[in-house]
Structure formats: structure tokens, C-alpha cells
Structure 1
Amino acid sequence: MDTQTQVDHGALVGWTGQDLGQRVVLTMQSVTKPPPHGADDVHDFLFMMDRKQAVQLGYYLFQLTGEAAPTRHKRSVLEKIFGG
């Protein structure tokens, strides 16, 4: 059994995601002390969610920060023809 103390807080220092089709794995990395950080200082937390949960999380973060979600720009016929 691992005797390492479980860390459930910290400053977010990185994240990655992996698309598994109907599910998404979000890996978030955190540290609990100021820099410089060694490899042993970075803790990984993995979260598996369905696609709707991932969208809801993203939407929630946009609301929380007051930022606007990116919008898709529909290309005009001329942009499609000339690569704009």
C-alpha cells in the first residue's frame, strides 16, 4: 500500500485531455509549494467524463470567468474559394 499522503489541493500548473470517443479523460496537474518544482512536486489528477460533462465544465468556466465562449466563424463563399 502506498504511504504517500493524499493531496487534494494545490495550484494548477498544467492539464491535458484525451478524447476516447464517447468519453474524455482530463488530466490536471497541481503543485503545493512555490517554484522551482521537481518531478515529485507535480501531482496528477485524472477525471473521466462523458462528452456532455466536458462541455458543461467548459461552459461553467466561461461563466465563472465572465469570458465569452469562442464562436465559429462561418466562411463566406469568397473565403472558401480564396482560402480566407
Structure 2
Amino acid sequence: MVIHLMGPSKTYNLRPCERCGFKPQAGIFKTCLDCFLDGHSLYRYEYDVSYLKLVFKRSGSCSIRDCRPVNQVVETTYRLLED
């Protein structure tokens, strides 16, 4: 399962997912990986990379900043999901 933010979309008229029950709409949701990917590939975002690597990597795929601890990220996502 994936917790993610979904912005406005043109696919709101789709039926709910048979696996997780997700019906596309804007907001923060917990969905199955198939709904999250929506036919696209999964990319891994890299943190704490060198500035040189940042300059030559695809835009939006990495950051020179440190990553937050996993438990903090999970706690924050569940809090946002509940709110």
C-alpha cells in the first residue's frame, strides 16, 4: 500500500479499484501500488546526493538535502491521511 497526495485529475469518473477500493479524487489517500502507479513506472528519489550529481540527474529525481528518518516519514503520512 502507498500513502500519497493526488492532485486534480481528469480521471475522476473511473470506477473504484477492485483491490483497494480507491476512487480517483484529489487529496491524500492510501492505495494499492497499481493505483499509485496508474500504468507508469516507479522511480526512486535519492537524498543526500552531491551537488554535481544533482546538476546532471533528471530534474526532480534527487536532492542534496538529507532524508528524514523512516519512522518520522511514516508517522507524518499517517497523520496527514487521518486529517
TM-score, with structure 2 as normaliser: 0.23
Higher relative contact order (CA 8 A, sep 6+): 2
Larger Cα-atom Rg: 1
TM-score, with structure 1 as normaliser: 0.23
